[in-house]
């Protein structure tokens, strides 16, 4: 559990529940949402929209449905056990298994941080002509200061504000384009895999259903923790958590959809192939006017900073869990995990030749690691030894297995596409 919660007397801090109280519970889900409206998503979604129009919108819908199921289930783990996914893996699985899976999760965290930092750096280049390498250093410095000098509660408020700015930015952008809503509606619900699109499909999947978010959600949900010994309280927490998760994930679905719709309506309709975010930004001004390019860059900057922050937190949670410890910014293992995630990503950025392609590949790496995290989660939440009376129902386990199988199948298609 978060260390700042350990001093609470649980018996004296029972929550009261009411219609307005749910607003106080909203927060953890929105931090997860930041992860899948990050710069990696921007690259994947703009590539999807500019190359295939509305055709791949269905992948955002499918990914979001899977995301709601997975995030709710992993939050269930955090609430019922008081452990994050990384801690539970270390405690309840063989050392070789937990270290192997958590090791790949750290790689995924680095891949995520790379995309987030790179996106923020690209935004700084768009706005102030700062070189990408220098911009990446500035993003890491800002995120490091925010993580190491602020409480979780303040960071949560800052992230929620950033999500609001990003959402409003895309509402503004969509207001400037003519949209074929009938085709968009078909795209949302009609699965289609155009020739040569599997890499983009997998990058969209990895950009929405992100391994580090599963670790992060199981940790930060405990910021709302109260009495672990009171069944009534735990059940209420689970209900309120589901509302938080559902609302937050739907906001993410709307923003991701808006990215594809914007790219489809602006670029695909004019047969313009977009090969980098800078190109997309530079063309929005002439095509849409009304400062659309500036709004695009500002939203990207906020997305990069916010998602770099949550990615760093996830790295800290995963790494501290290897030592059977909770995330605690005052603890050296948590700090080292944050540093490994952010600094390793920063170093890799200096060796990247094509930033846009790097963003898409980073999301593919996430999708490849994802099955390992999903099946670890299924094992833990389906174990009565771990979950006690809150163990998954058989129907939940079946649904989770279906989700894991779909992700694995898509990864196999990706592997085959290389031959």
Q: What is the pLDDT of residue 288?
A: 65
CA 306 to chain centre: 11
For residue 259, is it within any domain? yes
- Residue 2 in any domain: the answer is no
Query: What is the mean pLDDT of the segment spanning 191-200?
Result: 85
Q: Average pLDDT, stretch 387-400?
A: 94
What is the tally of structural domains in the chain?
1
* The predicted structure's pLDDT at residue 37: 79
Specify the pLDDT at position 8.
35
Assigned domain for 5 exists = no
**Has residue 4 got a pLDDT over 60?**
no
pLDDT given at position 286: 58
Domain that holds residue 257: 16-417
Name the token pair of 162. Answer: 């950033």
Q: What is the CATH number of the domain that holds 163?
A: 1.20.1740.10
Hey, how many other C-beta atoms are within 10 angstroms of the C-beta on 4?
A: 14
Q: Which residue in this structure is represented by tokens 């392609």?
A: 357
Q: Which of 68-82, 124-138, 281-295 has the lowest mean pLDDT?
A: 281-295
Per-residue model confidence (pLDDT) at position 335: 96
- Read off the pTM: 0.84
Is 4 inside any structural domain? no
- 3-state SS record for the chain: CCHHHCCCCHHHCCCCCCCCCHHHHCCHHHHHHHHCCCHHHHHHHHHHHHHHCCCCHHHHHHHHHHHHHHHHHHHHHHHHHCCCHHHHHHHHCCHHHHHHHHHHHHHHHHHHHHHHHHHHHHHHHHHHCCCHHHHHHHHHHHHHHHHHHCCHHHHHHHHHHHHHHHHHHHHHHHCCCCCCHHHHHHHHHCCCCCCCCHHHHHHHHHHHCCHHHHHHHHHHHHHHCCCCCCHHHHHHHHHHHHHHHHHHHHHHHHHHHHHHHHHHHHCHHHCCCCCCHHHHHHHHHHHHCCCHHHHHHHHHHHHHHHHHHHHHHHHHHHHHHHCCCCCCCCCHHHHHHHHHHHHHHHHHHCCCCCHHHHHHHHHHHHHHHHHHHHHHHHHHHCCHHHHHHHCCCHHHHHHHHHHHHHHHHHHHHHHHHCC
Residue 10 lies in a domain: no
The pLDDT mean for the chain works out to 84
Q: Does the residue 411 lie in any domain?
A: yes
The interaxial angle of helices 292-322 and 85-92, nearest 10 deg, is 20
If 0-12 CB within 10 Å is exposed, 13-18 middle and 19+ buried, where does residue 182 land?
Answer: exposed
- Per cent of the chain over pLDDT 90 is 43
177 falls within a domain: yes
Average pLDDT over residues 6-25: 49
Per-residue pLDDT, averaged over 81-104, amounts to 94
């Amino acid at each position: 559990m978060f260390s700042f919660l350990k001093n609470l007397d649980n018996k004296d801090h029972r929550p009261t529940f009411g219609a307005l109280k749910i607003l106080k519970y909203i927060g953890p889900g929105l931090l997860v949402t930041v992860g899948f409206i990050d710069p990696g998503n921007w690259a994947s979604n703009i590539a999807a929209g500019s190359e295939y129009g509305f055709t791949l919108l269905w992948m955002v819908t499918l990914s979001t449905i899977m995301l709601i199921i997975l995030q709710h289930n992993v939050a269930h783990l955090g609430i019922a056990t008081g452990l994050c996914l990384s801690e539970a893996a270390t405690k309840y699985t063989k050392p070789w298994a937990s270290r192997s899976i958590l090791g790949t999760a750290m790689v995924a965290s680095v891949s995520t941080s790379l995309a987030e930092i790179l996106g923020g750096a690209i935004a700084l280049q768009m706005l102030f002509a700062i070189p990408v390498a220098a911009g990446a250093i500035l993003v890491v410095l800002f995120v490091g200061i925010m993580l190491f000098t602020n409480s979780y509660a303040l960071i949560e408020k800052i992230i929620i504000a950033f999500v609001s700015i990003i959402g409003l930015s895309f509402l503004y952008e969509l207001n400037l384009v003519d949209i074929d809503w009938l085709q968009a509606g078909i795209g949302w619900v009609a699965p289609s895999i155009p020739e040569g699109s599997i890499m983009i499909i997998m990058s969209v999947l990895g950009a929405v259903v992100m391994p580090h978010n599963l670790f992060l959600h199981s940790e930060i949900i405990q910021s709302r923790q109260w009495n672990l010994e009171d069944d009534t309280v735990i059940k209420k927490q689970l209900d309120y958590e589901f509302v938080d998760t559902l609302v937050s994930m739907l906001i993410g679905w709307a923003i991701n959809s808006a990215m594809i719709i914007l790219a489809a309506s602006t670029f695909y309709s004019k047969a313009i192939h977009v090969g980098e975010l800078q190109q997309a930004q530079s063309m929005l001004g002439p095509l849409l006017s009304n400062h659309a390019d500036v709004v695009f860059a500002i939203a990207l900057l906020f997305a990069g900073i916010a998602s770099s922050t949550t990615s760093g937190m996830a790295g800290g949670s995963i790494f501290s869990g290897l030592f059977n410890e909770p995330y605690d910014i005052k603890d050296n293992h948590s700090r080292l995990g944050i540093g490994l995630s952010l600094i390793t990503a920063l170093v890799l950025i200096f060796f990247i030749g094509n930033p846009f392609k790097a963003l898409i590949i980073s999301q593919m790496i996430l999708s490849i690691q994802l099955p390992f995290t999903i099946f670890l989660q299924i094992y833990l939440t389906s174990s009565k030894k771990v979950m006690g009376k809150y163990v998954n129902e058989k129907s939940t386990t079946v649904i989770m297995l279906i989700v894991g199988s779909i992700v694995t199948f898509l990864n196999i298609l990706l592997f085959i596409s290389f031959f």
